[in-house]
Amino acid sequence: MDLRTALLSRASPGKLTEPAPDDAQLELMLEAAVCAPDHGRLAPWRFVVLRGAAREHLATAMENDLLARHAAATAEERAAERNKALRSPLLVVVAAALHEHPKVPLPEQVMATAAAVQNFWLQAHALGFGLMWKTGAAASSARVKAALALAPTDVIVGILHLGTVAVAGTPRPPSVAPVTRRL
């Protein structure tokens, strides 16, 4: 797939299923991710891969986090929260490990990590896989970070769901007119 086709046809799928990218395909995505623009080449990104049963770590942390926020959560709500981590065959949590730097402000370290996510996504798409970029309450949960062996100061930039597209998304038609001004 050429770059322009990849850029214009990318969309979030409605549902993902098996098979997920295998480890060799995942490696290609990670290689693309770490070529993202990165002020100071600090490589602030961290990738936590949760395949199959390993997703239970995140499911349990998300359920516990829900209970901490809503002690009265019902069994259905707890199951729904767990299912957020179990509904796609492969998850990759991408975090920015932030460190004070004399020339690279912390937000730029987050931006570089977001750029890495986009490279990762486009490579996944070009290989024929679907990806959903999620965050939600889990992304800022200390419990979730601890369960993934991330530092409390790390910023979770995305909980990426990967797999084969079962329900396709809708690419947006390219239109720059409303957001472009020429001075």
Ligand X SMILES: Cc1cc2nc3c(=O)[nH]c(=O)nc-3n(C[C@H](O)[C@H](O)[C@H](O)COP(=O)(O)O)c2cc1C
- Asked whether the CA dihedral 118, 123, 124, 126 is positive or negative, the reply is positive
Interaction between residue 14 and ligand X (CB under 6 A): no
Nearer to ligand X, 22 or 107 (CB): 107
Interaction between residue 30 and ligand X (CB under 6 A): no
- Cα separation, 173 vs 9, whole angstroms: 9
What is the closest distance, in whole angstroms, from the C-beta atom of residue 171 to ligand X in the complex?
7
In the stretch 143-172, what mask flags binding to ligand X with x, by CB under 6 A?
---------------x----------x--x
- Cα separation, 67 vs 53, whole angstroms: 22
Q: Which of 7, 11, 28, 73 binds ligand X (CB under 6 A)?
A: 11
Quick one: DSSP state of residue 136? S
Contact segment (CB under 6 A) with ligand X among 41-49, 128-136, 142-150, 160-168 equals 128-136
What is the closest distance, in whole angstroms, from the C-beta atom of residue 39 to ligand X in the complex?
19
Interaction between residue 15 and ligand X (CB under 6 A): no
Interaction between residue 118 and ligand X (CB under 6 A): no
Nearer to ligand X, 37 or 136 (CB): 136
Interaction between residue 51 and ligand X (CB under 6 A): no
Interaction between residue 134 and ligand X (CB under 6 A): yes
Nearest to 55 by CA among 27, 15, 82: 82
- Cα separation, 145 vs 139, whole angstroms: 8
- Cα separation, 121 vs 111, whole angstroms: 15
Alpha-carbon dihedral angle through residues 139, 143, 144, 147, given to the nearest 10 degrees: 160
What is the closest distance, in whole angstroms, from the C-beta atom of residue 102 to ligand X in the complex?
27
Peptide bond into 178 cis (omega under 30): no
